[in-house]
Amino acid sequence: MSAPVRIYHNPRCSKSRAACALLAEAGVEHEIIEYLKHPPSRDELARLVTMLGIRPGELVRRGEAVFKEKYAQLADDDDARWLDAMIADPILIERPIVVIGEHAVVARPPERLSALLHDA
């Protein structure tokens, strides 16, 4: 595969670990970005959302305690505030996100990654 492959990964997440395993099984070299240790910049996060073809609020993990404590009242269409929220609290970012070249997928379930690998 000639396009660079990155995975925004949380090693504590079973779905994220499964996506890493799928990449390894496919023999795909990839860069692992532990986004809780090294959060994306606001511009990078906005680019990921665009590549995913979704709005920022759709990338938010709504089951997280911090969501319920700080962000449950935000409107779904307040894109700028959702980007700010995910930058302030990266645990809110859905995972894993796999990027191949200019294409991305939230590999949840991990089988969604297979389609991206096939199309790339």
Q: Which of 1, 6, 13, 55 is catalytic?
A: 13
Q: Which amino acid is at 99?
A: V
- Furthest-apart CA atoms within the chain: distance in Å: 43
Q: Is 20 a catalytic residue?
A: no
- What is the set of active-site residues? 13
